[in-house]
């Protein structure tokens, strides 16, 4: 790892001021992606601003049909939270299936959403549930937030403070983890809000995306059979040593069907 | 340079280290506790697993600075004198190690998840061990040891 200066911030304001003062600075939360990236010398920030201990970034609460989770909340906390389990059990399930136990003890929801790894789990929940990403500057709708591989609507110097999830009538998440890495080769988060159904697919493409044809069919009849005749457009999906575009398109459909079947339970 | 003050196995330490120092290097090179291993150095294998404030983490993916003020337990802190920790005892009795390289990390991971789930099912043991690799592939006896340790600890 190249050398850098480590600074522990105690408030959002201090963290943002430090970011503004140092063009090559990066925020450090759990560090589960950033530290390996720096070891591989794919990133060499001048400063790491540790935001893990900032009180304003913690907390989980439900109010007026909305679940709010602080950006520095760890995956283990979301997975075990009685509040999350009651409001959106699919989100607690998703958090409990990220990486491995040691990673869940450090990694945070804000870090996952800021990084926007194409195979990360949280982006699918945020997009399907129509979450709002609240930063130090503004509120960003999930539909505008995710912009492809590792790209988001966040500006330089902007940081996520909390995430607000509308509580759906029903939701479910299913993924096909790669047997070695555990990353989703395809994952589907399906949620129902009134008559609207939203389906977000992660892992299969260069970034999380909505499968709108499935949403329309599931909006008419919420059953796994509704997507049977549909196919995810494979043309823009990922293709590598682990699988072809067509394989991933099929996996995305199978995960969607499994998630829909789980909704009924 | 940063001053890092932390407790390791009950003993207070203070080190002046470079900001880029990893917790695992602080433990091995500065505190001279070499029971914690570096396997992959990419947070996949879990050989570097230690407890930080009571929870299992991979110390190759934590900066020393992030552990400032923390209470750390390493494999050296598990036995009480000559009396092995129940997880260590079970690994010994069940022959849950071959080369032994992954063992410190396995024991720290297992003792971590048994705190949260004292009576795990087979499926829960597999999931609890997802962050640790044994390249001798001696998983059958490791799972046996986890069950035996869980039983011993529930007494």
Nearest CA distance, B55 vs chain A (angstrom): 7
- The reply to whether domains B2-77 and B86-154 share a CATH topology is no
Contact A26, B45 (CB under 8 A): no
Q: Do A6 and B43 touch (CB under 8 A)?
A: no
CATH number of B86-154: 1.10.150.120
Task: Write the DSSP symbol of residue A240.
Answer: B
> Mutation test of the interface with chain A: which of B22, B45, B63, B137, choosing the one with the most A Cβ atoms within 10 A?
B63
The fold adopted by the segment(s) A5-50 is 3.30.43
Q: Low-confidence residues of chain B, pLDDT below 70? A: none
Nearest CA distance, B58 vs chain A (angstrom): 6
Residue B70: list chain A partners with CB under 8 A. Answer: none
Q: What is the complex's ipTM, to 2 decimals?
A: 0.96
Write out the CATH class of domain A170-263. Answer: alpha beta
Contact B142, B150 (CB under 8 A): no
Q: Low-confidence residues of chain A, pLDDT below 70? A: 264-265
This prediction has a pTM of: 0.96
Residue B57: list chain A partners with CB under 8 A. Answer: 102, 105-106
Write out the CATH class of domain B2-77. Answer: alpha beta
Contact A92, A85 (CB under 8 A): yes
Q: Do A52 and B49 touch (CB under 8 A)?
A: no
Q: What is the pLDDT of residue A265?
A: 59
Q: Which residues, 6 or more positions from A107, have their beta carbon under 8 angstroms from its beta carbon?
A: A29, A30, A32, A33, A74, A75, A98, A99
In this predicted model, what pLDDT tens digit does every residue of B88-129 receive, in sequence order? 999 999 999 999 999 999 999 999 999 999 999 999 999 999
SS3 B146: helix
Where are the domains positioned within chain B? 2-77, 86-154
Sheet with A160-166, strands from edge to edge, namely: A60-63, A66-70, A160-166, A132-135, A139-141
> Mutation test of the interface with chain A: which of B54, B108, B113, B131, choosing the one with the most A Cβ atoms within 10 A?
B131
CATH of the structural domain A56-166, one choice from 3.30.390.50, 3.30.465.10, 3.40.50.970, 3.40.50.300: 3.30.465.10
In this predicted model, what pLDDT tens digit does every residue of A63-114 receive, in sequence order? 999 999 999 999 999 999 999 999 999 999 999 999 999 999 999 999 999 9
């Amino acid at each position: 790892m190249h050398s850098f200066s480590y600074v522990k911030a105690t408030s959002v304001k201090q963290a943002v001021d430090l970011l503004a003062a140092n063009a090559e600075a990066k925020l450090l939360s759990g560090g589960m992606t950033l530290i390996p990236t720096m070891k591989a010398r794919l990133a060499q920030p001048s400063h790491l601003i540790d935001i893990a201990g900032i009180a304003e970034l913690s907390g989980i609460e439900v109010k007026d049909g909305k679940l709010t989770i602080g950006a520095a909340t760890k995956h283990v906390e979301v997975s075990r939270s009685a509040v999350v389990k009651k409001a959106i059990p699919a989100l607690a399930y998703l958090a409990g299936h990220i990486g491995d136990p040691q990673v869940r003890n450090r990694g945070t929801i804000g870090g996952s959403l800021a990084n926007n790894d194409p195979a990360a789990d949280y982006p699918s929940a945020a997009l399907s549930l129509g979450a709002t990403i609240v930063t130090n500057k503004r509120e960003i709708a999930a539909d505008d937030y995710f912009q492809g591989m590792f790209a988001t609507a966040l500006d330089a110097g902007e940081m996520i403070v909390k995430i607000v999830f509308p509580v759906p009538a029903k939701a479910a998440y299913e993924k096909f983890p790669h047997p070695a890495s555990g990353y989703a080769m395809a994952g589907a988060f399906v949620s129902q809000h009134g008559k609207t159904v939203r389906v977000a697919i992660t892992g299969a493409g260069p970034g999380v995306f909505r499968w709108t044809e499935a949403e329309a069919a599931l909006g008419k009849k919420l059953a796994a059979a509704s997507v049977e005749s549909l196919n995810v457009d494979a043309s823009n999906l990922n293709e590598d040593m682990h699988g072809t575009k067509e394989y991933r398109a099929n996996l995305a459909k199978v995960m969607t069907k499994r998630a829909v079947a789980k909704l009924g339970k | 340079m940063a001053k890092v003050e932390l407790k390791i196995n009950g003993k207070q330490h203070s080190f002046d280290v470079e900001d880029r120092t990893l917790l695992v290097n602080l433990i091995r090179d500065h505190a001279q506790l070499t029971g914690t291993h570096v396997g992959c150095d990419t947070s996949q294998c879990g050989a570097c697993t230690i407890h930080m404030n009571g929870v299992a983490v991979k110390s190759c993916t934590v900066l020393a600075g992030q552990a400032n003020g923390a209470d750390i337990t390493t494999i050296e802190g598990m036995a009480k004198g000559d009396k092995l920790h129940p997880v260590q005892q079970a690994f010994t009795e069940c022959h849950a190690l071959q080369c032994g390289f992954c063992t410190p990390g396995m024991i720290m991971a297992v003792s971590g998840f048994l705190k949260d789930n004292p009576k795990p099912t087979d499926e829960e043991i597999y999931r609890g061990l997802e962050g640790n690799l044994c390249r001798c592939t001696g998983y059958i006896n490791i799972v046996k040891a986890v069950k035996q340790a869980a039983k011993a600890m529930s007494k």
